[in-house]
Structures are given as structure tokens and as C-alpha cells.
Structure 1
Amino acid sequence: MNKRIRLFDIVNVLLMGIVVCSMLFPFVHMAAVSISSSEYVLRNEITLWPKGIKFDAYTAVLRDKRILVGYQNTIMYVVLGTTLSLIFTTMGAYSLSRKNLVFGKTFMMMIVFTMLFNGGMIPTYLVIRSYGLLNTIWAMVLPGLVSSYYLIIMRTFFQGVPRDLEESGKIDGLSNLGVLLRIVLPLTKPVLMTISLFYAVGIWGNFFSALLYLQDPNLFPLQEMVRNIVMMGQVEENTVSSAIGNKAIVLESLKYTVILVSTLPILMVYPFIQKHFVKGAMIGSVKG
């Protein structure tokens, strides 16, 4: 029995090691290329270790005003969108977790229906246009304000809160909103952090909504700026000439640099809420 357990542990560690290496390799390779000298990049000699370390590509990226504008817009969308999404998801999930909610099962069936079927891209675009949301910050926030999947996860978490605590709060004179704010929410920190991370990551990486609903470059999120640079090789001419002389080589390194600059900030958030993330995801999935 012990030998079987040890063999399982060894195989498990090996498999996880392979998965981790396969996931880390692209980031390590991009980082190595982004800080390597241009001649080594041109000869395709960079794998996992940089050669002729230079930070010219990062200088070019950070001097491009579009990156700064994209960062500002993305941070605004993430903060505003995550806050509103968490508020509305929490209110909806708490209401649906009440057994005495009138037509509660009907509402749940309608929510589950939206997980299986949707109106499609063109009807959604027409709805957003009819409400005058095109080319506004709300076009990046309101269409995906509430996720049915995250709503169900939070509802399941709320159902696990002991009813005795809620009853004691009502005996003390708390309303339903008071019970939610003073009793339920302090006990549901893991799921709140988990859902917040899900929403934030989704908004941070969202460029398709900007592609459909935004025309003003001053409203473009960071991912849309990254798409323009990576797909079209758009860089300010004065930045390129002052940072690196050979534009073709710059664009080769610049693509990886831009991707790293846009990805690292959201990755750095995860370690700070990892313990809440694991607990929240597991509790939300046990009773689903």
C-alpha cells in the first residue's frame, strides 16, 4: 500500500512538473527574447537564456503613449467593472439563496437558460447601440456585468451559511440587507475574493468588446493596444529610431515585451489571494 502511494506521488509530481514547465516555457522564452540583443534575436538563437542583455525594447514600449493610455483605461475598467459586478452578483446570489423567494426556481431556470443560449453578437451590438452605450466606458462594463456561472457559485456559497446566524441577526433587529452586510458577507470572504479575481481577469483580458463597441483610441483598453502593436507592428517612429536602429528587429522583440508588460500585473495579483481562491472555488463546487 505504501509503495503504491509513493508511486502515485512520484507520478503525480512528474506530471505536474511537466505541466508547470509547459506553462512557464512561453513566459521564460518571451522574457529572454525581450531583453536579448537584436543580433541574437535575428539569428533565432534565444531559447531560455538571454544573450547580450539590453532593455531597449522595454524603453520603446514604455515610451509609447498608447501603452500608458491603455493601462489607465484598463485599470479604470477593472476597478469599475469588478466593483459593480461583485455588487450585483452578490445581491442576486443572496436573493436566490433564500428558500422563501417568490418564483425563485423560475428565476434560476431563466439564469441557467442564459448559460446555454444567447442572442449572439449582432443582437447584442444592436441592444448596446440602442441604449447609447457605443464608444463609452459603459460598453466595456455593462454587457458582462453579471456572469451566470459566478452567480450560481456565490449562491451555492450563501446557501452554506448557517441559518441560525441569520435568525439571530433578525432577532436583534437586522433587516435582510443588514444580515447580508453584517453577518453573511464577513463569513464569505473566500468566495468574494475568488469571484473578484474571476471578474478582474476577464475584464483585464477583454479586447473583443473594445473591438466591437469602441472607436475612440483614447478609450481603448490595454489589450486592444497590445493587439494593434502585435498584429500590425504599430510603434511610434521616433520611439523606434531613438531606442533601436533596426525596426524589423525591434518589432520581433517588441511583441514579446508588450505581451509581458500587459500580462505581468494581473499575474502578480494571484499570489496575494491564492488561499482565498482555492477555498472559495472548492466550497462553491462541492454543493453545486
Structure 2
Amino acid sequence: MFQSNILKKKVKESRGDQIFSYFNGIFMFLISLACLYPIWYVLVASFSSTGAINANLGKLLWPQDFSLGAYSMALRHPLILSGFRNIFLILVLSLPLQMFMTILCGYFMAAKNVMFKNIIVSFFMFTMFFSGGLIPMYMNQRQLGLYNNIWALVIPGALSLFNAIICKTAIEVIPDSLTESAHMDGAGDITILAKIIVPVIKPTLAVLLLYYGVGLWNNWFNAAIFIQDNELLPIQNILRGVLLANNQTLNQGAGSADLVNQYAETIKYAAICISTIPILCIYPFLQKYFVKGIMIGSIKG
């Protein structure tokens, strides 16, 4: 009873601790503000006019001359529409393939008593640190007939060894008694993988799905190298083109010269918001798995 009363008493902080907590809170608030304000500026600027942005450089807190014209122009731009179509096609083709390859690779690396396992895993690890470089990869893509093809953005990235190692770590945490009892009941590796391992490591797979999805959504370099036709470019490459475009280029795809002059800057901010919002909408559905999934296997015992 005496100990419980002591625990219930509020521990009084020293004056030095209070001062530290006060300034630490102010410092973290300023850091958070510095990180959030650029995002808020882009969002507010997308609903403003070009004149308002030029008149309030760097200090735009609320939409000035509120208008949806920039979004209307951005959504009418044919390349932005094709960019969204291409990135969704890439996600549909890549994500199932990447998750399938990652689970198989992780299961193999976590398996015990496999012949030549150490040698094969050594080859896997070698690819994490050494590669042929950009020019051999470019020549390889052309010889395989993947140049200027949507599959050039799908097949080369079918497996991330880093993600496979995360999957391997999650599988190793599963008690051996589960898989051993399944083997004794006559279950094969495919049955064990599909009905025991995959359901158990579902949080980790959700995190890897998010990793792959964000990586595909933000990847623009491979498309810039291997895709020639603008109609096959994903949204991030189109966004880069819009950010670097001049008024004449926007005029060809988005609207009249007067509208382009009015929204020459805001259409760029609108394009940033349009390309960012979809991936932000997906994250809350996977957030509950994120910390749990990434921490699986980090502590044993």
C-alpha cells in the first residue's frame, strides 16, 4: 500500500528539467513547422492565381484569388491523364510480381538444411553491392526488346533483395514447431507458405507492399532512360515535364494562351498535389501495420 501511494504521487521535475522540456517543445514545434509549411504552401498556391503567388513569394498562408482553374487545366492535360493511367498499370503489373518474388526469396533464405544455400545467398548479397552500371543495363534492355515498353519498368524491379531480407527476418521469427507439425501432417512447402507463413507475417507484407508502392510511384529515372514515347511515361515524369515546361508547352496541352498566362505557376502546384494525394490516401490504411511489421524480428528471445 505504501509503495502504491508513492507511485501514484506525481514526480516533481526539477527546474532545470522544466526549462529543458519547455525549450525542447518550442524547438520541436519549429522543426515541425519548417517541415509542414512547404507542403501547406504548395497546397495553398494550387488554389491561388499566378499574380497572387508572385506578390506573396514565400509567405502565402491562405489561398489568394481562390480558383480551381489550375486543377481544371491540369486534369485536361492529356499527358497527365495518360501518366496516371500508366502508373496505375505499372502498379497493377508490378506489385503482385514483386510480392510473389519477395515471399519466395525470403522463404528460401529463411529455410534450413537447404543444399548450396550459403553459396546462393552469397550471390544474392553480391547484387546488393555491385552492379553492371547504367550502360550495360540500357544495352540489356534494348537487346531484350524492353526499350520503350511498359515492361521495362516492371521486370527489372521485380525483386528488392533488401525487402526480401526483411521478409526473411519475419519468417525466421515464426516458431519451428508450426512448420514442423505441418510437415508431419503431410503439408508441402507451398501449403505451408500459403496457409501458415503468409497469414502470420501479414503486417510485414503490408509494410513491404507500401515500400514497393511508394518506390514505384516516385520512380522517374528508369522511365526517363528506357521510355521514349510521352504517352508511356508515368505520372512522375509528366510532373517533372510540367515543372520544367514553359508557357508554350502548357498551351499545347492544357488550354488557351490567356488561361496559361493566368495559371502558369499554379498549374505546377496543382500537378504536384494531384500526383501526391493518391499515395497519401493509401498510407492510413496501412499505418497500423507499419510499426509492427517493420519491427518483427528485430528483437528475439
CA gap 1:163/1:28 in 2 versus in 1, 3 angstroms: same
1:96 and 2:109 equivalent?
yes
Partner of 1:3: 13
Written as runs of structure 1 = structure 2, the 5 A alignment for 1:222-237 is 222-233=235-246, 234-237=249-252
Measured at CA, do residues 7 and 82 of structure 1 come closer, stay the same or move farther in structure 2, by a change above 3 Å?
Answer: farther
- How has the CA–CA distance of structure 1 residues 96 and 235 changed in structure 2, closer, same or farther, with 3 Å as cutoff? same
CA shift for structure 1 position 106: 2.0
Deviations 1:47-99 (A, max 9, x none): 22111211110110011121111101101101211110010010011011012
Paired with 1:130 and 1:2, the residues of 2 have a C-alpha distance of: 72
Asked if 1:23 is matched to 2:23, the reply is no
Deviation at 1:9, TM superposition (A): 6.5
Change in Cα spacing, 1:172 to 1:213, as seen in structure 2 (3 Å) is: same
8 Å Cα contact 1:240/1:250 also seen in 2? no
CA gap of 1:34–1:155, structure 2 versus 1, over 3 A, is same
Question: Alpha carbons of 1:43 and 1:150: their partners in 2 closer, same or farther (altered >3 Å)?
Answer: same
Of 38, 45, 48, the residue aligned with 1:36 is: 48
Given the superposition, is the C-alpha separation of residues 93 and 18 from structure 1 closer, same or farther in structure 2, using an over 3 Å criterion? Answer: farther
Which residue of 132, 143, 150 maps to 1:130?
143
2:255 aligns with 240
Find the aligned partners of 1:103 and 1:3 in 2 and give their Cα distance: 60
Once the two structures are superposed, residues 26-51 of structure 1 have per-residue CA deviations (whole angstroms, 9 ceiling, x without a partner) of 11001111101332123235522111
Give the alignment of 1:186-201 within 5 angstroms: 186-201=199-214
Q: CA deviation at 1:19?
A: 3.9
Contact kept, 8 Å, 2:73 with 2:255, in 1: the verdict is yes
**1:248–1:286 distance in 2 versus 1, CA, 3 Å:** farther
Normalised TM-score (structure 2):
0.87
- 1:126 is displaced (CA, Å) by 1.1
- CA spacing shift, 1:110–1:33, aligned 2, 3 Å: same
Percent identity, aligned pairs only, is 35
Larger Rg: 2
Letter of the 2:32 counterpart: V
Single out whichever of 278-287 and 152-161 deviates more from structure 2.
Answer: 278-287
Q: Distance in 2 between matches of 1:115 and 1:238?
A: 42
Gaps of 5+ in 2: 1-10
Bigger mean CA offset, 20-29 vs 273-282: 20-29
